[in-house]
Amino acid sequence: MIDDDRARLRALLEEANACRATNMPRAFELVEEALSRIGENASLAEEKANALLLKGELQERRGEHSEALKTTQFALTLMRALNDKRGVARALNNLGGICIKLAKHDDALDYHQKSLKLFEELGDERGKARALNNLGVSCEAMAEYANALTHYEASLATFERLGDKAGVAALLCNLGNLCANLADYASALNHFQRSAAISEELGDKRGKARLLNNLGLVYGNLADYANALSHFQQALSLHQELGDAHGAARALNNLGVIYGRIADYASALDCYQKGLTALEKIGDKRGIATALNNLGFICERMGDSVGALERYLKSLAVRQEIGDNQGMAQSLNNVGNARLRLGQLDEAFRCFRQSLTLAERIGDKRAIADALMSLEKCYDAMNRPNETLDCLQRGLSVSLEIGAKDLVAQFYLRLGKQIAAQTQRKTD
């Protein structure tokens, strides 16, 4: 009887895992059915641990990061009780990924280092390669780009040694993202194109769609908007063909970004609204918050600061609900900018200070620089030149530290204008 139960439970979990990308509500139903069947049956502890691990992954994908953390910690406890080292390593790896989303970067680094150590003890080279990749993701989230590069390259070398082409393609993709974050777009394109070629060779349509999306992002940053639109539209078609609602929503979001940059606001709004509808249907709260944020941005571009503020506040509320600290820092900054445009200086100032405080607490240096840029504008509007200059100098220092070339250029430009203005005032 127990063997029959195990077979049925494993079938449920396999089906849930298979449909997670195309039908998340169904995947959740299957996992909950498995957990309901298991109940408190101690003889099915292994199946319960695996079901909880999968449930945590689904919760994370749905943007329910605090719930995912609790579920995966429970799975980790069961894995340890079963002395399942491989399961423990997987759970630690998943916890690290969740902590990145919650901006708990020190915890994420600790989980990934422990996961790497366990895979090394098990002699699991593929697991080791994945753990090295995840350490790279942790370091990149902390703007420790040199360390991220070291881990990514070590992971790539391991996958190459194993002849794991799918792993190589994934690492080339991550290296491309890192280069793009550093505004090294030539290297990013090279990595993405190599990854795309491998995905094509493997017949990996999902990987190809992901790479089309990433290539579109690079072309967008290079202001090659025709190429960006073409790649995002191809990615959208492929995600729709695969039934990947998340991927399709992501492509729609990126299309909206490009349409916004070329001032085709009607098309941008259409893409963002379609993406938001898709995300609400699958319950992806993190994605919903991003879509609301982007709708606010387009409202601002159209001169509708009131509409922008409304959407930014909704985005902030969702991010507070799911405990997305990085997203909250961004939303607070955006709310502040909308209030600044509406002439609400005191409220804008409070938002910028809150954004800066949160960014400093979680160690998000990019967000720190963004908040300082916004705070500088607020101080300037309040005619406080000393504080304005201090924000610019601090922001420039942080931007140089993380190698953010786009921000460095903006801070130098604004710093030059501010120094010139102060010099002119002294002359007058």
- Does 237 map to a domain? yes
Which of residues 405 and 250 earns the better pLDDT score? 250
Distance CA 238, CA 253 (A): 15
Of 358, 394, 399, 326, whose CA–CA distance to 145 is shortest? Answer: 399
Question: Three-class SS string for the chain?
Answer: CHHHHHHHHHHHHHHHHHHCCCCHHHHHHHHHHHHHHHCCCHHHHHHHHHHHHHHHHHHHHCCCHHHHHHHHHHHHHHHHHCCCHHHHHHHHHHHHHHHHHCCCHHHHHHHHHHHHHHHHHHCCHHHHHHHHHHHHHHHHHCCCHHHHHHHHHHHHHHHHHHCCHHHHHHHHHHHHHHHHHCCCHHHHHHHHHHHHHHHHHHCCHHHHHHHHHHHHHHHHHCCCHHHHHHHHHHHHHHHHHHCCHHHHHHHHHHHHHHHHHCCCHHHHHHHHHHHHHHHHHHCCHHHHHHHHHHHHHHHHHCCCHHHHHHHHHHHHHHHHHHCCHHHHHHHHHHHHHHHHHCCCHHHHHHHHHHHHHHHHHHCCHHHHHHHHHHHHHHHHHCCCHHHHHHHHHHHHHHHHHHCCHHHHHHHHHHHHHHHHHHHHHHHC
- Does 196 map to a domain? yes
Q: Which domain holds residue 245?
A: 164-261
Q: Is the pTM of this model over 0.75?
A: no
- Does 192 map to a domain? yes
- Does 230 map to a domain? yes
- Does 137 map to a domain? no
Residue 1: pLDDT over 60: no
Give the pLDDT of residue 18: 84
CA 325 from centroid of its chain's CA atoms:
12
Q: Running DSSP on this structure, what letter comes out for residue 249?
A: H
- Does 400 map to a domain? no
pLDDT tens figures, 43-67: 888 989 999 999 999 888 777 878 8
Residue 416: pLDDT over 70: yes
Residue 372: pLDDT over 70: yes
Beta-carbon-side half-sphere exposure of residue 378 (alpha carbons within 13 Å): 26
Which of residues 248 and 2 earns the better pLDDT score? 248
Q: Is 144 helix (H, G, I), strand (E, B) or coil?
A: coil
Label residue 342 by pLDDT band (50, 70, 90): very high
Arithmetic mean of pLDDT over the chain: 90
Give the pLDDT of residue 2: 60
Which of residues 180 and 284 earns the better pLDDT score? 180
Label residue 273 by pLDDT band (50, 70, 90): very high
Which DSSP helix (H) or strand (E) runs through 337?
helix 325-341
pLDDT tens figures, 215-247: 999 999 899 999 999 999 999 999 999 888 888
- Does 225 map to a domain? yes
Residue 428: pLDDT over 70: no
* Residue with token string 């990145």: 100
Q: Domain count of the chain?
A: 1
Which CATH number goes with the domain that contains 247?
A: 1.25.40.10
* Mean pLDDT value of segment 372-386: 93
pLDDT tens figures, 295-330: 999 999 999 999 999 999 999 999 998 888 889 999
Give the pLDDT of residue 230: 97
- Does 210 map to a domain? yes
Give the pLDDT of residue 34: 87
